[in-house]
Amino acid sequence: MKTKAVRLYGKRDLRLEEFELPGISDNEILAKVISDSVCMSSYKAAEQGSDHKRVPDDTDRNPVIIGHEFCGEIISVGKKWQDKFKPGNKFSIQPAMNLKENPYAAPGYSYRYIGGAAQYIIIPNEVMESDCLLDYKGEAFFYGSLAEPMSCIVGAFHANYHTTAGSYVHSMGIVEGGNMAILAGVGPMGLGAIDYAIHCDRKPGLLVVTDIDSARLKRAESIYSVEEAKRNGVKLIYVNTSEIDNPVEYLKSLTDGKGYNDVFVFAPVRPVVEQGDKILGRDGCLNFFAGPTNPEFSAEFNFYNVHYNSTHVVGTSGGNTADMIESLQMMEKGLINPAAMITHVGGLNSVVDTTLNLPKIPGGKKLIYTNIDMELTAIADFREKGKTDPMFAALADIVEKNNGLWSAEAEKYLLANCKPI
């Protein structure tokens, strides 16, 4: 079977190609990818090539398919897995397999025949053996693509920990009913964190979300309103710290001076990290969620408070399979809607340019439908493009009635009306 896919040959060498897939063996699965979300990690892999820990040394001879946030349908199943997986089933992938023989191996980085930026793929035996091929029962494919980034958020909430005086036991997870701050929190991942915080089963009592961009803060509040949070038992406050003379003093005042039990830092910016440290309360946990590109990145941390107030820091860079299953189930039940993360939509033909220029493209998640031909387009530009293209006019109508968000209806319309690749 022929497939089109974007493959990595070396540093900044991505190519959209058509090639023949081999037949599947008894322990493999043939699948069709429908959607893939472009991650900054794919940009890093493209920049670093084989210097990246997950990318093999021989991509110049054996190129790998990129993309690891994908969702699709199973086409055919090898004999070994026929009792567990059926043709027609929707699936999502947990790329972090954590194999003993190669802990860095992952779909979208390390394999010739599996990755999200493709029409058809072969899912190797180790994905199923690692329980990383996940059943997905949701209506829209794009939610399955967002399960992986959402699982990173779920994992971060689970990774925070707290202590009890006189005990050496660490209690995992955020403080239920406690004070939480999400700093630089209205980017795509921050929006997902707000969504999860006010809809999960272990919520904070107070949630303060900060940023320095008033437009992004307004958009966040229009999607996750103060009223909605209140209905779920959470007091939600949005703060533009650029408009406040002393942000640390103000943020602490919102907790009556007690400080925050859980602080999440969503930007690798030294002043933001240090601000997070300064607003921690006793036994406060700072989660450095944002991944820096500079290996020398550092910030000051108050070790007086570490000693006397038991403040501490954790860093998370992804979720595990249980986190991904939780995010899938919450989406299937309509408890969370990570569509707010998506700001651009495109086809397989747009993947190379999008990936190589990802840091230069403003907005949130870039969603790719791998079987269509469409330049990457901002959802905010649909109406303008609709003046000359009826398809975009119809898409603009659909997203506008959905508070400006991508939706299952928009996905269905696009797949039925867009030019195939």
Mean pLDDT, rounded, for 338-351: 96
Mean pLDDT, rounded, for 356-360: 95
Q: What is the pLDDT of residues 235-274, one digit of tens each?
A: 999 999 999 999 999 999 999 999 999 999 999 999 999 9
Residue 352's SS3 state is: helix
The two three-digit tokens of residue 49, written as one number: 């090539």
Rg (CA), the chain: 22
The two three-digit tokens of residue 343, written as one number: 């700001």
* Domain boundaries for CATH 3.40.50.720 within the chain: 151-315
Mean pLDDT, all residues of the chain: 96
pLDDT on residue 294: 83
CB 271, CB 260: distance < 8 Å:
no
Over pLDDT 70: what percentage of the chain?
Answer: 100
Q: What is the pLDDT of residues 322-344, one digit of tens each?
A: 999 999 999 999 999 999 999 99
Q: What is the pLDDT of residues 145-163, one digit of tens each?
A: 999 999 999 999 999 999 9
Give backbone dihedrals phi and psi of 177, rounded to 5 degrees, phi first.
75, 5
Tell me the C-alpha distance between 366 and 38, whole Å: 6
Give one word for 201, left, alpha or beta, with left for phi > 0 and alpha for psi -120 to 50.
alpha
Pairing relationship of beta strands 280-288 and 260-265 according to DSSP bridges: parallel
Pairing relationship of beta strands 29-38 and 90-93 according to DSSP bridges: unpaired
Closest CA to 382 of 336, 328, 343: 343
Residues 344, 345, 350, 355, CA torsion sign: positive
Over pLDDT 90: what percentage of the chain?
Answer: 93
Q: Which residue has the tokens 């640390």?
A: 248
Residue 293 has pLDDT above 80, yes or no: no
Confidence label for 295 from pLDDT (cuts 50, 70 and 90): confident
CB atoms under 10 Å from CB of 61, counted, come to 8
Tell me the C-alpha distance between 306 and 299, whole Å: 15
Q: Which long-range contacts (CB under 8 A, 24 or more apart) does 1-4 make?
A: 1/30, 1/120, 3/118, 3/119, 3/120, 3/121, 4/118, 4/119, 4/348, 4/421
Tell me the C-alpha distance between 308 and 4, whole Å: 58
pLDDT on residue 47: 94
pLDDT on residue 377: 98
Q: What is the largest CA-CA distance in the chain?
A: 69
Confidence label for 317 from pLDDT (cuts 50, 70 and 90): confident
The two three-digit tokens of residue 346, written as one number: 């495109």
pLDDT on residue 292: 83
User: Which letter does DSSP use for residue 27 in this model?
Assistant: T
Q: What is the pLDDT of residues 199-239, one digit of tens each?
A: 999 999 999 999 999 999 999 999 999 999 999 999 999 99
The CATH fold assigned to 2-136 is Quinone Oxidoreductase; Chain A, domain 1 (3.90.180)
Architecture of the domain whose range is 151-315: 3-Layer(aba) Sandwich (3.40)
- Please provide the DSSP assignment of 372-403 as one string: B----EEGGGHHHHTTT-HHHHHHHHHHHTTT
CB 241, CB 274: distance < 8 Å:
no
Tell me the C-alpha distance between 31 and 130, whole Å: 18
Q: Which residue has the tokens 């919520």?
A: 203
Q: What is the pLDDT of residues 33-64, one digit of tens each?
A: 999 999 989 999 999 999 999 999 999 999 99
Tell me the C-alpha distance between 382 and 63, whole Å: 35
Residues 130, 323, 143, 83, CA torsion sign: positive
The two three-digit tokens of residue 238, written as one number: 């949005």
User: Which letter does DSSP use for residue 118 in this model?
Assistant: B
